[in-house]
Every structure is written in C-alpha cells, then in structure tokens.
C-alpha cells in the first residue's frame, strides 16, 4: 500500500482512540525499511529517485523486511512498551493497521515468517482501487 493509505487508515484508528499521532506514526514508520533497501540497492540519496521508487510494487525490489512480520511487530512492541507503555501500545495498534493493509495489497507478504506463507491481497499496488480506498479513508476521516 502507498504511504498515504497507511497514514489515512492510521489517522482514522487513532482518531477513534483519541491518539491520532501515536497510531499514525506506528502506521507509517514501519516502511522505513523501504528507504533503507532502496539506498542499499542504488546507493542514491536523490529524493526524486526515492519518490519514483515508492510507486514501484514491493515485489519488484524486494523491499519488505523483518519489520513486515508478526515477529517484527512483537519485538518492536515489546521494546517500545518497555520504554513507554502508552506510546508503545498505541504505536503497536498503528503497526498492526499497517500490516493489515499490506495484507490487503497484491504484493508478497510473509507475515508469519519463518513460515513460508505468502499473503497476496486483492488490491493492486498503486492502482485505481487503492486510490478509491484512499478517498473512502478521507471521507471517513472527515466524518468521525
């Protein structure tokens, strides 16, 4: 899913829980592994290239990492909750929303690593369906 999808969905959940910043942060920060993988592949720091690469499906570049697994979620949550329980809790909810949306898109997702179970959702990455989903998220965000 696009970063905008994760952000909007995280804001919706966060607004419902009265902690929009913490949940939205958890929903988008997980994709930091995309930036790292991009840099490691191309050794480029060009923002223009990074924005371009963001529109290419994850399967093409193999950008999903340990952070896109339930093990990554559990370890990150445990560490954050050990430091600050409230922040870790709401960040964790955003993180889960991120994994849920990634399971809905058609890119490879090995959510239950080390099990070799590939989850492919019905929504094509960067498609009209995803744009429509974002519009729906915007409408819901303004209604609540």
pLDDT of residue 85: 97
Q: Is residue 92 helix, strand or coil?
A: helix
Which residues, other chains included, contact 59 with Cβ-Cβ below 8 Å and sequence gap of 6+? 107, 108
Over residues 58-116, the pLDDT tens digits come to: 444 455 677 888 999 999 999 999 999 999 999 999 999 999 999 998 888 888 888 88
Tokens of 25: 């942060």
End-to-end CA distance of the chain: 23
pLDDT of residue 58: 47
Query: Alpha helix (H) ranges present in 1-144?
Result: 3-16, 20-29, 32-42, 47-53, 58-61, 70-83, 85-104, 128-143
Q: Per-domain residue ranges for the chain?
A: 3-143
| Mean pLDDT computed over 9-26 | 97
Closest CA to 118 of 77, 76, 58: 58
CA distance linking residue 103 with residue 105, whole number of Å: 6
| Mean pLDDT computed over 113-141 | 91
Q: What is the share, in percent, of the chain residues with pLDDT greater than 90?
A: 56
Tokens of 44: 């480029």
């Amino acid at each position: 899913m696009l970063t905008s999808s994760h952000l909007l969905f995280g804001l919706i959940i966060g607004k419902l829980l009265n902690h929009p910043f913490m949940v939205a942060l958890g929903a988008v920060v997980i994709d930091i592994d995309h930036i790292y993988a991009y840099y490691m592949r191309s050794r480029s720091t060009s923002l223009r290239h990074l924005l371009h690469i963001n529109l290419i499906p994850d399967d093409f570049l193999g950008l999903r990492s340990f952070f896109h697994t339930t093990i990554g979620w559990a370890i990150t949550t445990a560490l954050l909750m050990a430091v600050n329980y409230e922040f870790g809790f709401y960040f964790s909810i955003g993180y889960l929303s991120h994994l849920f949306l990634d399971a809905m898109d058609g890119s490879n997702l090995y959510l239950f690593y080390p099990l070799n179970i590939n989850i492919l959702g019905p929504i094509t990455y960067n498609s009209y369906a995803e744009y429509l989903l974002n519009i729906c998220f915007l409408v819901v965000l303004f209604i609540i």
